[in-house]
């Protein structure tokens, strides 16, 4: 009897929803080039350069009626071998004093050394607050952000597209919605979080975004309800991309007026036009299984994993053959820079950008303090959060923004 009840207790613990678990894994670069099968299908080439990671079905055209990319792909750059999705963002350039553009390399995130080209870190968060999520359906795509935006007011339509000025590789505080205006010693991290409510039927509308929405009130993290128009809770998809600015951080290389020298491949110094694109491509119901199992980090017994070096072997040749690394006289595609170059008059001074919202301390969780532990990389606080606020040993709870604190 005794050992049985111990077993039952152990099972209860194991089966208790570990609400803070989140998939977190690395995807190496697949190819970096001027293609955009969502916004400019069929166009060789699209207006601006993207870095693409994920499965090797990425192509000039990716018809959403052709739902079976996970069946047709033969490799992926991601650590989960069943994830043939594609993920992409714009890339970053440094503009030298002589006017030439040099591509800013990317660097590996913590835990993911060796990912080719720096790649990106991808998160899928299942339902917090014991709520379930419905994994994306085959043929699903979405875009968050708008490369035309250049103002804080426009960018505020997207709650969680931000930048972190890395003082160390593990800095996770002080997110801003615009580009940092001072040198960031270890680089600049782009944080791209997608909306978490779906209309339940549209896979890919013409604007690639009206089928998803933010919760009607509160946040995904706080268990906020989805609006009636978009009632289905989907996993929170989140990219981190680290731009290795270290070789460009010397102020003597920056414009003489002190303005910040980094410009996006779509012609934006402000950062308000940051955006991310997603083409779902998980095999079968593998993502749903991982979400239901509350898998944690880059290991999940429900999924097939592969090493970063195996992922590195998956790559595509550029279909748009052109020089993108520089020095270049013009941005690839002759992209014109639109909008201001912020930071003038800022030589060596302090000019901290537009804070998302200062929220230095995680919101305490009444009624849930008792012995509940959030795992590393899991959520541990934020507006409306009522889950665990104690982090597993070896990690510390740090506020990332007003909605989200994470065990790091």
Ligand X SMILES: *[C@@H]1O[C@H](CO)[C@@H](O)[C@H](O)[C@H]1NC(C)=O
Beta bridge partners of 50: 33, 90
Tell me how far, at minimum, the Cβ of 327 lies from ligand X, in Å.
Answer: 4
- The Cα 293–Cα 124 span in angstroms is 12
Cβ closest to ligand X, residue 61 vs residue 318:
61
Tell me how far, at minimum, the Cβ of 326 lies from ligand X, in Å.
Answer: 8
From 56-64, 170-178, 197-205, 371-379, span contacting ligand X (CB under 6 A):
56-64
Q: Find, among 132, 147, 141, the residue nearest to 48 by Cα.
A: 147
Tell me how far, at minimum, the Cβ of 216 lies from ligand X, in Å.
Answer: 39
Q: Does 60 bind ligand X (CB under 6 A)?
A: yes
Q: Does 205 bind ligand X (CB under 6 A)?
A: no
Beta bridge partners of 162: 191
Q: Does 59 bind ligand X (CB under 6 A)?
A: yes
Q: Is there a contact between 363 and 381 (Cβ–Cβ < 8 Å)?
A: yes
Kindly identify the residues of this chain, within the stretch 363-382, that bind ligand X according to CB under 6 A: none
Phi, psi of 128 (to 5 degrees): -85, 175
From 5-13, 58-66, 106-114, 362-370, span contacting ligand X (CB under 6 A):
58-66
Q: Is there a contact between 392 and 373 (Cβ–Cβ < 8 Å)?
A: yes
Cβ closest to ligand X, residue 76 vs residue 176:
76
Please give the distance of CA 251 from its chain centroid, rounded to a whole number. Answer: 29
Cβ closest to ligand X, residue 297 vs residue 327:
327
Tell me how far, at minimum, the Cβ of 7 lies from ligand X, in Å.
Answer: 49
From 10-18, 94-102, 187-195, 239-247, span contacting ligand X (CB under 6 A):
94-102
Cβ closest to ligand X, residue 22 vs residue 57:
57
Tell me how far, at minimum, the Cβ of 265 lies from ligand X, in Å.
Answer: 18
Tell me how far, at minimum, the Cβ of 316 lies from ligand X, in Å.
Answer: 8
Cis before residue 297, ω within 30 degrees of 0? Answer: no
- The Cα 370–Cα 367 span in angstroms is 7
Cβ closest to ligand X, residue 102 vs residue 203:
102
Cβ closest to ligand X, residue 39 vs residue 148:
39
Q: Find, among 325, 370, 361, 333, the residue nearest to 32 by Cα.
A: 325
- Indicate the DSSP class of residue 83: B
- Total number of residues binding ligand X (CB under 6 A)? 8
- The Cα 383–Cα 221 span in angstroms is 8
- Return the SS3 of 365: coil
Tell me how far, at minimum, the Cβ of 135 lies from ligand X, in Å.
Answer: 24
Cβ closest to ligand X, residue 42 vs residue 114:
42
Q: Does 98 bind ligand X (CB under 6 A)?
A: yes
Kindly identify the residues of this chain, within the stretch 298-337, that bind ligand X according to CB under 6 A: 327
Q: Does 43 bind ligand X (CB under 6 A)?
A: no
Cβ closest to ligand X, residue 73 vs residue 291:
73
Q: Where do runs of H (alpha helix) occur along 266-395? A: 286-292, 308-312
Three-state secondary structure string covering 4-31: HHHHHHHHHHHHCCCCCCCEEEEECEEE
Q: Is there a contact between 247 and 102 (Cβ–Cβ < 8 Å)?
A: no
Q: Does 138 bind ligand X (CB under 6 A)?
A: no
Q: Does 100 bind ligand X (CB under 6 A)?
A: yes
Q: Does 96 bind ligand X (CB under 6 A)?
A: yes
Burial of 2 (0-12, 13-18, 19+ CB in 10 A): exposed
Kindly identify the residues of this chain, within the stretch 142-171, that bind ligand X according to CB under 6 A: none
Q: What does the binding site for ligand X look like in residue numbers (CB under 6 A)?
A: 57, 59-61, 96, 98, 100, 327
């Amino acid at each position: 009897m005794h050992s049985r009840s111990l077993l039952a207790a152990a099972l209860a613990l194991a089966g208790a929803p570990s609400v803070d678990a989140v998939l977190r894994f690395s995807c190496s670069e697949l190819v970096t080039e001027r293609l955009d099968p969502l916004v400019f299908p069929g166009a060789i080439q699209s207006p601006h350069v993207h870095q693409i990671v994920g499965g090797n079905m990425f192509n000039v055209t990716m018809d959403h009626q052709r739902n079976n990319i996970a069946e047709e792909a033969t490799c992926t750059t991601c650590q989960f071998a069943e994830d043939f999705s594609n993920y992409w963002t714009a890339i970053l350039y440094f503009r030298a004093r002589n006017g030439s553009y040099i591509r800013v390399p990317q660097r590996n995130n913590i835990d993911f050394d060796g990912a080719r080209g720096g790649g990106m870190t991808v998160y899928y968060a299942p339902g917090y607050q014991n709520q379930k999520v419905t994994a994306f359906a085959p043929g699903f795509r979405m875009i968050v952000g708008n490369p035309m935006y250049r103002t804080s007011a426009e960018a505020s339509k997207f709650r969680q597209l931000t930048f972190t000025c890395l003082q160390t590789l593990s800095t996770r505080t002080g997110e801003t919605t615009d580009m940092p205006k001072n040198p960031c010693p270890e680089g600049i991290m782009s944080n791209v979080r997608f909306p978490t409510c779906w209309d339940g039927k549209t896979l890919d509308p013409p604007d690639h975004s009206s089928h998803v929405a933010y919760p009607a009130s509160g946040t995904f993290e706080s268990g906020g309800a989805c609006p009636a128009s978009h009632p289905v809770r989907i996993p929170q998809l989140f990219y981190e991309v680290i731009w290795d600015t270290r070789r460009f951080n010397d102020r003597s290389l920056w414009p003489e007026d002190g303005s910040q020298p980094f410009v996006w491949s779509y012609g934006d110094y402000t950062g308000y036009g940051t955006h991310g694109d997603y083409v779902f491509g998980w095999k079968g119901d593998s993502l749903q299984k991982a979400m239901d199992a509350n898998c944690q980090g880059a290991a999940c017994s429900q999924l097939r994993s592969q090493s970063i070096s195996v992922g590195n072997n998956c790559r595509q040749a550029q279909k748009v053959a052109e020089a993108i690394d520089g020095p270049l006289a013009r941005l690839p595609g002759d992209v014109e820079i639109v909008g201001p170059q912020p930071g003038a008059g800022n030589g060596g001074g302090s000019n901290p950008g537009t804070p998302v919202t200062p929220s230095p301390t995680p919101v305490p969780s009444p009624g849930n303090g008792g012995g509940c532990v959030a795992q590393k990389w899991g959520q541990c606080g934020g507006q409306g959060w009522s889950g665990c606020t104690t982090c597993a040993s070896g990690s510390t709870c740090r506020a990332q923004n007003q909605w989200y604190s994470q065990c790091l």
